[in-house]
Structure 1
Amino acid sequence: MPAPIPLAPLDDERNRAAREAARQRVSWPANLAPETVDFKSEGYLLIAGAELDIRRAAARLAGQLPGITLVVTERSSAEEVPDLEAIWEATRALPCQVADSTLRLEGYLGRFHATLASDADAIDLALATQGRPCFDLVLDLGQRPLLALELPPPGYRATRWGTADCEQALATLPDHRGAFEAPRAVQINADLCAHSRSGQAGCTLCLDTCPADALSSQSGRVGAWIEVDAHRCHGAGSCASACPTGAIEFRLPRPAPLEHYLGELLTAYREAGGAHPVVRFLSEAHLARESAPAAGHVLDVALEELGAAGPDHWLAALAAGAGEVRLQRDAETPSTLLRQLERQHAEARELLAALGHDPARLTWLGAEADRKELDALPALAPLPPRPEASPDATKRDRLNATLAWLGRQGSPTGRRHPLPAPSPHGGMEVDAERCTLCQGCVALCPTPALSGGDDATARLAFREADCVQCGLCEAGCPEQAIRLVPGFLAAPERETRRTLKEEPAFACIRCGKPFATASTIATIQRKLADHPYFAGEARARLEMCEDCRVQDVWQELARDPERQLKV
């Protein structure tokens, strides 16, 4: 790896001026008219937990909401309560149900469905207690929350009686009445999705990383697909960051405009006289809590959630001329998202090492990092900035362009590097003896990684740079001839399309049209050797194209009319 390049003392005032000039010149890629989702709440509240706690809360909220239903989910403590009689008088008229069976809760602000289910019956609590199809709000005071989610849906509040958080909830719940709207954070392009094809299961990275459980796999007659519940989505961006193909796209801001913004910001900073830039990705909430701005050479990219940017953006910032990229930890980041970011950080550092760059160009900052650590100068000089990628390129194409540029500026190792699983980088091997070139894997592949031949030649070709290791080809191969090889290949072969198997096309014995391969015909003949339809002279039909096969059947029926009675 290259040795760190010593830097001359910098004029921080000059860098601050350059940073301000860059920010004035380059606009943040905001969606000026984002699509929104609507919520409507009338204020009907469900309170669950120990009876004493839920009656205390209900007494505090009495008269402020149109309807309150109580559900006892656990035993109350044995503490002495001086105002117990007053609490009982204030809440005695409220419907109260003991959850002696399974309590199921699902939904979001304005549409929560609570069901008490047993082997014999199921009770819809909203319908039974309020005469309504659903609850609008839920206050959960139980020791074990009904919804164990890192980012629960809007309208649901899990807390404990007597805490400051509970006091804040009691003060704000009455305000959750009326019509509300929120921006739709993500969108899905099913054509790019590698989740499922032709009944085969593939990528699940987005499902594994959503801290709000807002994504689900839906299935029907046409197969399975990913669906996002926009009312439960918090816009953490982890699904879009995890998606290897760009099928899930974050809208606030969109990935391609964000990458363009990074390039424009760094260009404007350099042209304004700034030196040795560092790009810091952080959440807007963390930036708001900082008491003073960072040093002049630190260009902050504040996101609604840190997960809104991923390795494609971090590496693009280095390729655009940043000397270092820093990721700012936030104590409020959901643990699921933090684990994903840590895995992606380790992956991106291994990619840098594989391409011959110091992994120290990509670092974490602690949630409580001191000013000296925040404002440190980069240890390495920036790389030459690359030409901007096409704005119409897919996420994978943009990442490949970044990796290719970094490879040209470094010294790739020429070998395959293991990456933290699951990783969207890797190759594949094909057992040439088993493969019949049926092209089933080509049809299943959601990216251009696999391609076939032409009329004259049957071929299976593969370009590793496009492979996202979704596993659809491996799962769908009827001959079990495919094996995935995870890991990043730091060699030119990754960018080239190579032939894994090739055969001349088999020509129809009647019309001469190429329609299959010799190995495919041999496999079919072996499997159908005992089939009565292809017995005797009819065996030759297996060597005919679909048109000639039908003609041969009809001609045989014409020659022997009695056979028509057997059809």
Structure 2
Amino acid sequence: MALEDKTLKLCSCNKTIPIDAVALARALKSAAPIMVHTELCRREIEHFNSALKDDACVIGCTQEAPLFSELAQQAGARSALKFVNIREAAGWSAEGAQATPKIAALLALADAPESEPVPGIRFNSGGHVLVIGPAEAALDWAERLSAELEVSVLIARARGEAGPRRIDAAELPAQRGYPVWSGRPKSVTGWLGAFDVEWEQENPIDLDLCTRCNACIRACPESAIDYAYQIDMDKCRSHRQCVKACAGIGAIDFKRADSARSERFDLVLDLSAEPLLRVAHLPQGYLAPGADPLEQALAAAKLQALVGEFETPGFVTYNERICAHGRSGKLGCTRCIDTCSTRAISSAGQKVVVEAHLCAGCGGCATVCPSGAMSYRYPRVPDLGGRIRRLLRTYAEAGGRDACLVFHDGEATLDVLMKLARRGRGLPARMMPLEVFHPASVGIDVLLGAIAYGASQVVLLVSEKQDADYGEAMRSQLGHAQTILAGLGYAGAHVHVVASERMAAMERELWGLAPAATVPEPATFNLSPEKRTSLEFAIEHLARHAPAPKDEIGLSRGAPYGRVEVNQQACTLCMSCVGACPVSALADSPERPQLRFIERNCVQCGLCVNT
């Protein structure tokens, strides 16, 4: 596949990458010979500068991307630059000499159309931070942060501590420079720029009203009041001398009726030993470093960067019309709610609600959604499918065999892949890495689509944290895909989750994968924005070319396909099940009293049964 109207600059990185220029030119269908440099970023930099006169330039190096970009900017070049990693992804490998098809495929991706931009989700943070935690730590960090941020403090005791006790022996500042409250946190909800915090004021002393005159401290015969104006109820003997001393101010009330308090903040610094928010992924703007002083310092340093206007992609779209969550007051599918690690998805009667400000972009909801009501768009499935098809087609045309796609993110797993190339055996020549925002977004439609396009295998490379959060959801989808492939007679294990952040373990697993059977004729269809349509295309193609075609394949519980069993003697043909079905798998007949079932539409949500 030729790189249309693009200048290609390749470098062997001081002859450490074995590049066959002739074979590569043939694989890329290049009319002109391909020149391979050895020190493009150093002694041969003029060759790069000369390429800046062209409209577009593809550079086979990502390490020196900042240098090349700076040179292009200094030269005022109009050339569009694209950088492709052929070193760690292909050349630095125990099979680097056989990696020409992979290098060609990776370079061909530089010619892929850009994905359509997705709508952004806006955040606005004015820098009002609430510091929650034990008095000593909370007041200390409030003092440090108050010069740069608008600060408030909630002195809170440890989770699980019983009874309204004294917090600790910290002392409030001599100057009232920011609000200080105390109490038991009840809830924290929201996101960057809009955190709503509720707490219950248990301390009899209202710190808003308190003038810090210390009259109560001097009056208390048991010394039960400290200089943070917290009363130790174990010491207090209810003499109420403090109440008398504060009579003119009225800050002390042991029988306060209204103890509920709430405020809104832009940021939260939670210094509790355990975060008050217990979710796998904390929302942006909520920092919970725990009790470790170093982690607290790192978190405090991040706060200043979280002031201003921000935007994140709108990762998912939701189509209520085909959602199988509920109908007529009956509950059906809850897969997206169960999978979401940020609690961004909640039930709202017959539908679900997605709070985009909480979405972290994992895409797990779209992966487990059986109907396609949740769809991922960073990138959209058709865009990702186009990249996969281009990659596999170029690889095959260049003579590559048994292609394996390795999906990884741009952080933890990418770092391990880089180390694997620098310190270990690298990736096998047949394994092509493809970066996505999050591996959990790769659903069964993409998995089976990739196999239909000619891939031998698909690997989801995940970190240990990602595996803990989404491993069950990913493996269930892989299990359904593998069952379908095995049922059609395709030998071998086609889909895998490799969960490791340790180089040796990852190397052992990747190099230990034996190729699986491939489809004899790669598919040419495009993946659809509609999940069921993509699945239909992929399964039909795989079935058409199956080594052992079958009319029926048994799937495990939770699969996105299946049938319903109707007791014909008990059915009254009331058609309530037809009205409840969100995907038209059940239908009546306009010509006669008849209940019809369309198996290809059924998502096994159970709404018909519940209705």
TM-score band by shorter chain is 0.7 to 0.9
1:190-246 deviations in whole A, cap 9, x for unaligned? 112111223322111111100000011113xxxx21111111111110111111111
Asked if 1:211 corresponds to 2:294, the answer is no
**1:13 corresponding residue in structure 2:** 99
- Counterpart of 1:175 in structure 2 is 305
Q: Which residue of 2 aligns with 1:109?
A: 192
Amino acid at match of 1:54: A
**Which one-letter code corresponds to 1:459 in the other structure?**
Q
CA 122–348 in structure 1, closer or farther in 2 if over 3 Å, else same: farther
Alpha-carbon offset, residue 185 of structure 1: 0.9
1:74 aligns with 2:209: no
2:277: which partner in 1?
Answer: 147
* Residue 393 of structure 2 corresponds to residue 267 of structure 1: yes
Which of 295, 309, 319 in structure 1 is aligned with 2:442? 309
Describe the shift of the 1:86–1:214 C-alpha distance in structure 2 as closer, same or farther (beyond 3 A). Answer: closer
What is the rounded CA distance, in whole Å, between the counterparts of 1:228 and 1:334 in structure 2? 23
State the SS of the aligned residue for 1:265. helix
Contact 1:19–1:274 (CA under 8 A) maintained in structure 2:
no
- 1:412 positional shift: 4.8
Counterpart pick for 1:199 among 301, 304, 329: 329
Give the deviation of 1:413 after TM superposition.
5.9
- The match for 2:233 is none
Distance 1:452 1:358, change over 3 A: same
Instruction: Classify 1:69/1:50 alpha carbon distance in 2 versus 1 (closer, same or farther; 3 Å).
Output: closer
Superposition TM-score, scaled by structure 2 size: 0.67
Q: Supply the distance in 1 between the matched residues of 2:490 and 2:196 (Cα, whole angstroms).
A: 53
- SS of structure 1 residue aligned to 2:432: strand
Alpha-carbon spacing, 1:422–1:125, altered in 2? closer, same or farther (3 Å)? same
Counterpart mapping for 1:250-399 below 5 A: 250-285=376-411, 286-291=413-418, 292=421, 294-333=427-466, 335-367=468-500, 368=502, 369-371=505-507, 373-375=509-511, 378-389=514-525, 392=528, 394-399=530-535
- In the alignment, the residues of structure 2 paired with residue 282 and residue 136 of structure 1 have an alpha-carbon distance, to the nearest angstrom, of 33
1:406 aligns with one of 511, 533, 542: 542
Tell whether the 8 Å contact from 2:448 to 2:538 is kept in structure 1 after alignment. yes
Is contact 2:440–2:470 with CA below 8 Å preserved after alignment?
Answer: yes
Unaligned 5+ residue runs, structure 1? Answer: 1-8, 78-83, 127-133, 477-567
CA distances 1:513-554 after superposition (whole Å, capped 9, x unpaired): xxxxxxxxxxxxxxxxxxxxxxxxxxxxxxxxxxxxxxxxxx
The CA deviation string for residues 11-44 of structure 1, in whole angstroms up to 9 with x for no partner, is 51322333234323434x523x321111111111
Q: Does 2:599 match 1:464? A: yes
Cα deviation digits, residues 62-87 of structure 1 (max 9, x gap): 3121222223232999xxxxxx9997
Indicate whether 1:446 and 2:530 are aligned.
no
Q: Which has the higher strand share?
A: 1
Aligned match for 1:37, one of 100, 121, 137: 121
Structure 1 Cα separation of the partners of residues 158 and 509 of structure 2: 48
Unaligned runs of 5+ in 2: 1-94, 162-167, 202-255
CA contact (8 A) 2:130 2:153 kept: yes
1:471-486 pair list within 5 angstroms: 471-476=606-611
SS of equivalent residue, structure 1 residue 37: strand
Relative to structure 1, is the Cα distance of residues 268 and 150 closer, same or farther in structure 2, using a 3 angstrom cutoff?
Answer: same
SS in 1 for 2:565: strand
Larger deviation: 270-279 or 370-379?
370-379
In the TM superposition, residue 373 of structure 1 has moved relative to its aligned partner by 4.1
Rounded Cα–Cα distance in structure 2 between residues aligned with 1:425 and 1:69? 53
State whether residues 448 and 466 of structure 1, in contact with CA within 8 Å, keep that contact through their aligned partners in structure 2. Answer: yes
- Counterpart code for 1:287: L
How far is the alpha carbon of 1:328 from its aligned partner? 1.0
RMSD of equivalent CA atoms:
2.9
Aligned residues: percent identity? 31
- Of 132, 135, 140, the match for 1:51: 135
What is the CA–CA distance in structure 2 between the aligned matches of 1:393 and 1:230, rounded to whole Å? 20
Aligned CA distance change for structure 1 residues 23 and 260 (closer, same or farther; 3 Å): closer
Q: Normalised by the size of structure 1, how large is the TM-score?
A: 0.72
Structure 1 residue 94, shift from structure 2 partner:
3.9
Structure 1 pair 202–370 and aligned structure 2 pair: CA distance change class (3 A): closer
Residue among 407, 411, 432 paired with 2:568: 432
Q: Give the C-alpha shift of residue 116 in structure 1.
A: 2.1
CA distance in structure 2 between the aligned counterparts of 1:73 and 1:428, rounded to whole angstroms: 54
Work out whether residues 575 and 588 of structure 2, in 8 Å CA contact, stay in contact via their aligned partners in 1: yes
Q: Structure 2 matches for 1:76-95, cutoff 5 A?
A: 88-89=172-173, 93-95=177-179
> 2 CA distance for matches of 1:402 and 1:155?
41
- For residue 121 of structure 1, the aligned residue among 248, 258, 279 is 258
On the 8 A contact 2:492/2:516 being kept in 1, the answer is no
Asked if 1 retains the 8 angstrom alpha-carbon contact of 2:405 and 2:457, the reply is yes
Q: Does 1:243 align with 2:373?
A: no
In 2, are the aligned partners of 1:352 and 1:359 still within 8 Å (CA)? no
* CA deviation vs aligned residue, 1:76-114 (integer Å, no higher than 9, x gap): 99xxxxxx99975478654332224x5221111111111
Shift of 1:381: 4.5
Cα deviation, 1:350-406, whole Å, max 9, x if unaligned, reads: 232222223512223241334454356743352224433355562112112222332
CA distance in 2, matches of 1:359, 1:461: 37
Change (3 A) 1:349 1:185: same
Equivalences, count: 446
Question: Bigger CA drift: 408-417 or 151-160?
Answer: 408-417
Q: Secondary structure at the match of 1:468?
A: coil
C-alpha distance after superposition, 1:245-295 (max 9, x if no partner): 111111101123322332232112222333321111111212244323634
SS at match of 2:464: coil
Q: Which runs of 4+ in 1 moved over 6 A?
A: 84-87
Q: Is the Cα contact below 8 Å between 1:320 and 1:384 reproduced in 2? A: no
How far apart in 1 are the matches of 2:436 and 2:341? 17
